Amino acid sequence: MVQPKSQKLRLFTTHLLLLIFIAAIMFPLLMVIAISLREGNFATGSLIPDTISWEHWRLALGFSVEHADGRVTPPPFPVLLWLWNSIKVAGITAIGIVALSTTCAYAFARMRFPGKRPC
């Protein structure tokens, strides 16, 4: 199908604005990931680190980090325990919502009440 020139221009402009919007949203996320892959606590430099270090991820996942000089850094927070607690709460909440919604749906489907049928 042949599209008019104004519609092609509008489609191109829409796609360009969407790409700019996606880039504006993704840049901070990519920056945080890049900073987490750097050695030490440095937030300066380019987006892509020179050397990749997984020490921040090991600490975040609850593993101790052994440094080159023999020091051992224990994990500061029990992040995996917090994640597991969040999963349990979300699962129990989802099961409760489905159970309650099922009984409500049955009541709406089977029982008669004013306003059930459209005029």
**Number of structural domains found in the chain:** 2
Q: Domain check: are 18 and 40 in the same one?
A: yes
The DSSP bridge partners found for residue 73 are 65
Domain that holds residue 115: 78-119
Question: What pTM was computed for the model?
Answer: 0.57
Helix, strand, coil percent content, the chain, rounded in steps of 5: 60, 5, 40
Greatest Cα pair distance, the chain, in angstroms, is 80
Whole-angstrom distance, CA of residue 52 vs CA of residue 37 = 5
Q: Domain check: are 6 and 57 in the same one?
A: yes
Q: Domain check: are 115 and 72 in the same one?
A: no
Task: Quick: pLDDT tens for 56-109.
Answer: 888 888 888 888 898 898 888 888 899 999 999 999 999 999 999 999 999 889
Q: For residue 31, give the nearest of 19, 44, 40 by alpha carbon.
A: 44
